[in-house]
Amino acid sequence: MPVLPDPTDLPDALDRAAPDAPSPHPPQLLSDVASLPPLPGVYRYFDAEGTVLYVGKAINLKKRVSSYFQKNHGGSRIGHMVSKIVRLETTVVRSEAEALLLENNLIKTLNPKYNILFRDDKSYPYLKMTGAAVTSNPGTSFPRVSYYRGAVEKKHHYFGPYPSAWAVKEAILLMQKVFRLRTCEDPVFNNRTRPCLLYQIKRCSAPCVGHINAPDYAQDVANAERFLRGDARQVMDTLEARMMAHAERLEFEQAAELRNQVAALSNVLHQQSVDNVSDRDVDILAVKVQGGRACVNLAMVRGGRHLGDRPYFPVHVEDAAVFFVDEEVDAEAQAVPSIEAQVLGAFVAQHYLNVPVPPSLVVSEPVDKNLLKALSVQSGVKVTAVHQPREQRRVWLEMAQTNAGLQLARLLAEEGSQQARTRALADALDLTLDDLDKLRIECFDISHTSGEATQASCVVFHQHKMQSAEYRRYGIEGITPGDDYAAMRQVLLRRYGKLAETLQEAQKTGQIPAGTGRLPDLVLVDGGKGQVSMAREVFEQLGLDLSLIVGVEKGEGRKVGLEELVFADGRDKVYLGKDSAALMLVAQIRDEAHRFAITGMRAKRAKVRVDGGKLEEIPGIGPKRRAKLLQRFGGVRGVALAGVEDIATVEGISRDLAEEIYRMLH
């Protein structure tokens, strides 16, 4: 790659370049680079197929982007990326903070190949405390503590986020033991006539039957909230003062109850070992890189209590072509951050886009000050990071580093085992592949309940693991209920019909359109000769290779490990052996397709049958009115199909309540 002069002269340089040393980049690209403004912004690189390669930010777009094309990067990963660039897009922003936020939003949206990517599998759980409100529902006077995951609402109080569901459930158990708050849902609460078992084992104060009045319960709720915010010592002092006051008034039963609360809270504080209550909300971040993979271990401290940790494994660590250029110093003289620092910086930037950031971070690697400023601007709270902590923070960081190493070792061991399984399957089926990482398997399964709510699932195995983001469900309609063969025919036609047409057109023109998918190397169907025959008919109709189809036929007695593979191209059945690594992989993929189909079918069936299971949650609908609605319309599905006028004809249902029922069910 030739070394180009100043970016402002890029077009002229192309004219002056020797005929035998043409630029590898399109003239339009170099022209776009030369015309960039010296302003902060975000840039995106694209290859010839329109795939985004890299997303970056710059204080000075002109200097940063030009630096990629002024230097010969040789055979490095960044040189490999630069050689693919054919198009550039930029967005100018007002500040570096805005550039950081936009950059990481685009990284999470576009999934560029040469950026370090962190993908959240799901949102964080919270502990939810329902807010008291003046309504006809008596349960609202006695707030409920519950597990919650999703968007927060202002009318309720939320504590967290927690690193795992287990941590939330432990906190809820704590609320029951110490403060005896209720966990039952409102319909249960509103219809209790005697205390439940939780009251008997001293896990609830039974507000449902009046064993505690609203003011006293509100005091317990307030203490629980203060405890969750980290004011445990103050809560202890308050409880002790109330206990002594009751004792002085000879109210020994009330004093004994408070004594038990104090003892339970004291025991909890001892177990939690809170040595530094000044650190109420802290995230501890430790990174470990080994064998081309990385792990960031995130531990959370909330309210002064260590809630546990959660590992994250980024992708594209090996391919990441992070090119650091500071506009104020010479690029050659600048020290490039370590890969650990790059991974940690990518995690902090991407993770806290959608998650509340605590005021303090304890980190194993230095974090860019500009990134911390951007997080502070976004959250409205000054965010600081401590790289070399002392005392309790140091203990927390060492724990996080140890866990990061253990989690990464586990991942590498699992990946090694999974790669061995992939290789065993390729050998067993004589698959000719130059790169096993590219082996793609798609597996189909059909699920229904006596023909009701038929669902077909397609799961994808690629790069030695299941790719849940590529899973698809297909609602099957227009067939005889229970006809699994017709369902398989429909899902295969829908999955591969358009792709087959595109590939056939490409054979005629000799050019495959950009964005066209590819056929898998193996198509598994959960079934024996019947399902394989149906798949063969579909592939013959579409003009696809029959050797791709493999059926997984259950063995004698449907026992696991006795499965046989059935082929659509006429090959004899194959029994891989009970202890075969290849059969283990086939069974794993088949079971995942089965699980995915069943969960989809159950969700669809539940929606059809009990989409109005929300009846009990509608204010004003108690057991009697619900029974009348179900009796009148023959079930919840009938209620859901009824109009407002029909619902209003039921005894005890007013027009306003009928409209509310209709709105809730639709």
For the ranges 321-330, 539-548, 606-615, which has the lowest average pLDDT? 321-330
Average pLDDT over residues 404-418: 86
Bridge partners for 522 per DSSP: 441
Q: Which of residues 229, 250, 272 is at a domain's end? A: 272
Query: Could you tell me which residue, 283 or 302, shows the higher pLDDT?
Result: 283
Convert the pLDDT of each residue in 467-481 to its tens digit: 988 999 998 888 888
SS3 (DSSP) at 52? strand
What is the domain-level CATH number for residue 51?
Answer: 3.40.1440.10
Measured distance CA(175)–CA(177) in Å, rounded: 6
Is residue 38 included in any domain, yes or no?
A: yes
Q: Which domain holds residue 296?
A: 282-328+341-409
Same domain, 387 and 455: no
Is residue 451 included in any domain, yes or no?
A: yes
Does pLDDT of 52 surpass 50? yes
Whose CA is closest to 342, among 326, 320, 325? 320
DSSP 495-517: HHHHHHHHHHHHHHHT-PPTT--
Same domain, 129 and 248: yes
Same domain, 266 and 291: no
Same domain, 199 and 314: no
Measured distance CA(499)–CA(508) in Å, rounded: 15
Measured distance CA(87)–CA(85) in Å, rounded: 6
Query: Could you tell me which residue, 173 or 618, shows the higher pLDDT?
Result: 173
Same domain, 153 and 54: no
Same domain, 578 and 443: yes
Measured distance CA(661)–CA(614) in Å, rounded: 9
Does pLDDT of 121 surpass 60? no
Average pLDDT over residues 329-345: 68
User: Quick one: pLDDT at residue 160?
Assistant: 77
Same domain, 264 and 355: no
Does pLDDT of 332 surpass 60? no
CB atoms within 10 A of CB 294: 28
Burial profile 196-222: b = 16 or more Cβ within 10 angstroms, e = fewer: bebbeeebbbbbbeeebeeeebeebbe
Average pLDDT over residues 571-598: 86
Same domain, 302 and 256: no
Convert the pLDDT of each residue in 389-398 to its tens digit: 888 889 889 9
Does pLDDT of 70 surpass 50? yes
What is the domain-level CATH number for residue 539?
Answer: 3.30.420.340
What is the domain-level CATH number for residue 628?
Answer: 1.10.150.20
Same domain, 227 and 263: yes
Average pLDDT over residues 589-602: 86
pTM listed for this prediction? 0.64
74 band by pLDDT with thresholds 50, 70 and 90? low
DSSP 58-86: ESSHHHHHHHHHSS--TTSHHHHHHHH--
Same domain, 156 and 292: no
Highest mean pLDDT among 241-255, 289-303, 599-613: 289-303
Is residue 165 included in any domain, yes or no?
A: yes
Same domain, 443 and 570: yes
**CA-based diameter of the chain, in Å?**
103
Whose CA is closest to 479, among 487, 489, 471, 469? 487
Q: Which of residues 45, 76, 96 is at a domain's end? A: 96
- Tell me the H-state helices in 229-338: 232-248, 252-272
Is residue 419 included in any domain, yes or no?
A: no
SS3 (DSSP) at 92? strand
Measured distance CA(252)–CA(216) in Å, rounded: 16
Is residue 426 included in any domain, yes or no?
A: no
Q: In total, how many domains does the chain have?
A: 5
Estimate the crossing angle of helix 27-34 against helix 61-69, to 10 degrees. Answer: 150
Yes or no: say if 127 and 118 are a contact pair by the CB < 8 Å rule.
no
What is the domain-level CATH number for residue 393?
Answer: 3.30.420
CB atoms within 10 A of CB 163: 21
Measured distance CA(418)–CA(429) in Å, rounded: 17
Average pLDDT over residues 209-235: 83
Does pLDDT of 8 surpass 50? no
Yes or no: say if 93 and 49 are a contact pair by the CB < 8 Å rule.
no
Same domain, 360 and 385: yes
Q: Which of residues 600, 622, 647 is at a domain's end? A: 600
Yes or no: say if 364 and 285 are a contact pair by the CB < 8 Å rule.
yes
First to last CA, the chain: 62
Measured distance CA(75)–CA(79) in Å, rounded: 6
DSSP 603-641: HHHHHHHHTTGGGGGSTT--HHHHHHHHHHHTSHHHHHH
Is residue 417 included in any domain, yes or no?
A: no
Is residue 517 included in any domain, yes or no?
A: yes
Is residue 427 included in any domain, yes or no?
A: no
